[in-house]
Amino acid sequence: MERVETDVLVIGAGPVGLTLTSELAYHGVRCIQVERSSCCTVLPRAFNVTVRSMESFRRLGLTAAIRKVSYPRDVKQIFSFGTQVYQGQEIFALDLDSWGEVEDKLPNKKLLYFESGCSGEIPMIIPQFALEPVLEAKVKSSPEVTFLREWELVSIDQDENGVTAIIRKASAMKDSEAPEEKTIRARYLVGCDGGRSAVRKSLGIVQYGKFVIQKVLAIYVQSPELLDIVQDKVGLGGFITKDYLALIAAFYPKECKFMVQVILGAEEVDENHPLFRDPRPILHSIVGKEIDFKVLACYPWKAHAVVSTKFHKGNVFLCGDAAHQWIPLGGVGMNVGIGDATDLGWKLAAMLHGWGGPHLLESYHRERGGIAEQTVQEVALQFGGVRQAAVVWQFVLIIMRTPIISYIVRKLSQAFVKKSLVIRLAQTVLAFYYDRSNIVVYDEGKLRGDDPEPKDPFIPLDGPGRRAPHVETESLETIYDLFGKSYVLLILEDSKEACFQLQGEFQRRAIPLSVHVMESTPAIRRAYPKKYYLIRPDAVVGWRSDTEPSTERAKRLIDTLVGNNPPRRLLPWFSRPEKALFRSMKWLAVPLVSVSAVALFGTSPGAVLFPTVVAASLFVGLSAIFSRKEDRTQVARHKGIVMHQFGEPSEVVKMEPKRVVTFGRREILVSVRATSVTQADLHTCKGLAPNVSESSLPLALGYGCAGEVVAVGNDITAFAPGDEVYLHLPSGGAQAQYVVATTDVVALKPKNVDFVGAASLPWVSCTVWSALVKRAGLNEGNAVGKKVLVHGGSGGVGSFAIQLLKAWGASVTTTCSTDNIEFV
């Protein structure tokens, strides 16, 4: 078997994987990229490349090539919502400009998540099948990269020095030939292999969040007739008809190609349903008339809103959909993955070039995991109730027959979409915030960022952990042309020799640093009000100050920036946004009810009161329906020990491979590292435990375990992801890969106790506490000087009882066998 060595092995060659490989090659890192498919995707899939992604592509020299295959530069973008395409009732429309107008530097132009002046780049509308070849050509032209198509991952084995992977020729499997295999030894491996990631599964990492929040039928069509109908609405349109709720995206107007995404109901999920075989009735209903079209593809898919419990394990990392998945509406799917690649690329390069610290790579999950958490919550809130919201919109369409109500609905809907969709998702794109990073130096010695969420994401933010503000200078189209290869020290209103202690420390440690003295123009001062800034290679502010650091301060700064310092434990805080559906109800209810009552029934008190009460009851009832259940987070299926009948443990205990759990706002999710087997488990197996009967089956075994917190509910403030804990589950179920618990049965694991030892503590400690405190009435206050006999002191319960009594000041006598004297 051929053996090859490289620095980084990248599995998967979608937009995220290709971006990562390009980023690594940009930093001079040797890579091998492996992709199972035989060619780039032929489906549109993603289509919106945000300005943040374009800033990354600019650094890689790709923007000109991307613009050539994007939307026509003179076509304006329109995002609308109505009843049908042809002669339908328009509920609202968000009119945007063309990217050509922005390129020509016309003032006050707006695109999706973009306003003139917020960046030196321009967001692009480009289908994934047109983007991938551009990225692949860049990768193949890089001498640092070996690109392997039609190869697939077989296995991963890692140690502290690197990863050994076996890959095989995928095409040989189709031809029933003996597959050719290769062994690749790499320092790091990155899985960019999508939502069904083989890399993630090999690591045993599961995902949590909301699974199957929408079921969708994708219909990819080509229709010149449809293009003629929507000429004035080219962009993204949402349409609600009597039977369907759908989105139509003009993916490639150059070739009259459209992607129709139909939100399915629960009764329409069977792939044998006629809709899957013949989607013409759907299209005719949405368009509003029969048209000619060619179906290029038709397939169902499920939309999730989930995040992986970890983004890396050892020297193996997850990127893009392998790490997180959500509804790819609004451009926050592929683009967040591109952000992952940009973040991870320079950090891997720093480690391979020798200047990255031992904790640098830990920042990847801290930074990108935080962004994924925020995005998945926002996407789930905005789009998770789309199908249910259709019920409300059907009611709205009825009362919109009155002109004044139609006018109000249009204005309020447009304002709502702009605030809830455009502005909030623009914050994800432009105003993202690494507020928990261990490689960012926050102001005034803070351990975490605490900047408030900006109301306007298009206003520059210069705080540590933020995207560096764009500004244009006399010599640069954008200040971003200075960023990428190294750390950048920006000096304002001073000489190039300023911060010489900091510059000297960078030089002494051989850390790449570029120093630039900026001219003091009003635009630069607005964007960068401090005197000194350190900008990371990924164009994120790492530090800012008005004073030069001393030598000792410079050393501490750099220790943090390059990851020499271990991450500190930070308790979480969460924003708790209301569901988008509820927000829409609140601002729709009062004006709609009032105006509809007056318009339809006159102005008399009785005529106004009755419909107002009816309509208000409708809104309250819908709110009660949608909010009845606690919003619980699901955990992907994993393994756990379960028994389905009573008997000897060797005969009845089985490993259940598809265990499912959920956790709520007041619970935590723990990845189990060790679990205990006690006498209680044996009694349970034989049906001898109290309160256990045939009706209790199946039973999940195990009461005590220890592990690492991987996620917490929104109301949890006492624990944070990464905490090492031990816990007791009164109802059992601790013998599993993941468990859910409330905070009253969880404690932080002592640092001098390993996971195995900690897992043995919960059951014996609860047993001892029950015996000494509840039965014997002893406690810390009354046990001093009392004589206590512990019979059998060498076992788990006995040794714990001795330690507790001694700590309380009691005089303890114990018994044990001769062989176990040393234990007591």
- Decide if pLDDT at 44 tops 60: yes
Section 372-389 average pLDDT: 71
Residue 170's pLDDT band, with cuts at 50, 70 and 90, is confident
Closest to 476 (Cα-Cα) out of 523, 543, 542, 537: 523
Dihedral angle of Cα 766, 772, 778, 781, to the nearest 10 degrees: -40
- Decide if pLDDT at 201 tops 80: yes
- Write down the pLDDT at residue 602: 52
SS3 454: coil
* Parallel/antiparallel/unpaired status of strands 245-252 and 257-264: antiparallel
What is the rounded distance in angstroms from the CA atom of residue 609 to the CA atom of residue 597? 8
Residue 486's pLDDT band, with cuts at 50, 70 and 90, is very high
Give DSSP secondary structure letters for 41-109. --S----EE-HHHHHHHHHTT-HHHHHHTSS-TTPPPEEEEES-TTTPPEEEEEE---HHHHHTT-SS-
Section 506-511 average pLDDT: 96
SS3 656: strand
Residues 676 and 762: beta-carbon distance below 8 Å: yes
Lowest mean pLDDT among 270-279, 454-463, 689-698, 701-710: 270-279
- 561's enclosing H/E stretch is helix 551-561
SS3 798: helix
What is the rounded distance in angstroms from the CA atom of residue 284 to the CA atom of residue 289? 5
- Write down the pLDDT at residue 625: 42
- Contact residues for 443 (Cβ-Cβ < 8 A; gap 6+): 463, 464, 544
For a pLDDT cut of 90, what percent of the chain falls above it? 49
Lowest mean pLDDT among 208-212, 487-491, 639-643: 208-212
Cα 589 to its chain centre, rounded Å, is 33
Q: Looking at residue 180, what DSSP letter applies?
A: P
- Write down the pLDDT at residue 359: 97
Lowest mean pLDDT among 267-281, 489-503, 636-650: 267-281
- Contact residues for 333 (Cβ-Cβ < 8 A; gap 6+): 46, 321, 325, 326, 327
Residue 620's pLDDT band, with cuts at 50, 70 and 90, is very low
Task: Tell me the C-alpha to C-alpha distance, in Å, between residue 325 and each of 46, 208, 209, 216, 803.
Answer: 13, 10, 9, 15, 49
67 or 589, which is more confident: 67
Provide the β-strand partners of residue 787.
Answer: 811
Q: How is residue 342 written in tokens?
A: 């940009």
- Decide if pLDDT at 460 tops 90: no
Lowest mean pLDDT among 116-120, 189-193, 260-264: 260-264
Closest to 721 (Cα-Cα) out of 272, 307, 382, 163: 307
For 237-251, give the secondary structure using H, E and C: EEEECCCCEEEEEEE
Lowest mean pLDDT among 174-183, 346-355, 452-461, 537-546: 174-183
Lowest mean pLDDT among 240-254, 417-431, 588-602: 588-602
Closest to 244 (Cα-Cα) out of 219, 261, 257: 261
Residue 131's pLDDT band, with cuts at 50, 70 and 90, is very high
Give the Cβ contact number of residue 788 at 10 Å: 18
What is the rounded distance in angstroms from the CA atom of residue 180 to the CA atom of residue 185? 17
- Decide if pLDDT at 617 tops 70: no
- Decide if pLDDT at 523 tops 80: yes
Place of tokens 């709502």: 416
Question: Is the preceding omega at residue 698 within 30 degrees of 0, hence cis?
Answer: yes
- Write down the pLDDT at residue 234: 58
- Write down the pLDDT at residue 396: 67
Closest to 703 (Cα-Cα) out of 736, 673, 665, 670: 736
What is the rounded distance in angstroms from the CA atom of residue 318 to the CA atom of residue 70? 29
pLDDT (tens digit, 9 = 90+) per residue, 222-252? 998 888 887 655 566 777 776 777 878 776 7
Residues 186 and 7: beta-carbon distance below 8 Å: yes
- Decide if pLDDT at 577 tops 50: no
- Write down the pLDDT at residue 113: 86
- Decide if pLDDT at 395 tops 80: no
- Write down the pLDDT at residue 172: 61
For a pLDDT cut of 70, what percent of the chain falls above it? 86
- Decide if pLDDT at 615 tops 70: no
Lowest mean pLDDT among 61-65, 414-418, 685-689: 414-418
For 702-771, give the secondary structure using H, E and C: CCEEEEEEEEECCCCCCCCCCCEEEEECCCCCCCECEEEEEHHHEEECCCCCCHHHHHCHHHHHHHHHHH
Residues 454 and 431: beta-carbon distance below 8 Å: yes
- Decide if pLDDT at 757 tops 50: yes
Give the Cβ contact number of residue 139 at 10 Å: 23
Lowest mean pLDDT among 51-55, 588-592, 747-751, 775-779: 588-592
462 or 699, which is more confident: 462
pLDDT (tens digit, 9 = 90+) per residue, 306-328? 999 999 999 999 999 999 998 76
- Write down the pLDDT at residue 230: 75
- Write down the pLDDT at residue 387: 55
Place of tokens 């048209």: 291
Residue 587's pLDDT band, with cuts at 50, 70 and 90, is very low
- Write down the pLDDT at residue 621: 46
Give the Cβ contact number of residue 297 at 10 Å: 12
- Write down the pLDDT at residue 584: 45
Mean pLDDT score of the chain: 85
Lowest mean pLDDT among 98-107, 132-141, 572-581: 572-581
Section 623-631 average pLDDT: 49
Residue 483 exposure: Cα atoms within 13 Å on the Cβ side = 27
Residue 382's pLDDT band, with cuts at 50, 70 and 90, is low
Dihedral angle of Cα 396, 399, 400, 402, to the nearest 10 degrees: -170
Q: Looking at residue 206, what DSSP letter applies?
A: -
For 379-448, give the secondary structure using H, E and C: HHHHHCCHHHHHHHHHHHHHHCCCHHHHHHHHHHHHHHHHHHHHHHHHHHHHCCECCCCCCCCCHHHCCC
Task: Tell me the C-alpha to C-alpha distance, in Å, between residue 380 and each of 33, 182, 246, 433, 631.
Answer: 33, 41, 18, 20, 11
Lowest mean pLDDT among 325-339, 437-451, 471-485, 562-576: 562-576
Residue 772's pLDDT band, with cuts at 50, 70 and 90, is very high
pLDDT (tens digit, 9 = 90+) per residue, 546-574? 999 999 999 999 999 999 999 887 766 44
Provide the β-strand partners of residue 667.
Answer: 742
- Write down the pLDDT at residue 626: 44
Residue 177's pLDDT band, with cuts at 50, 70 and 90, is low
**Burial of residue 183 (number of CB atoms within 10 Å: 0-12, 13-18, 19+):** middle
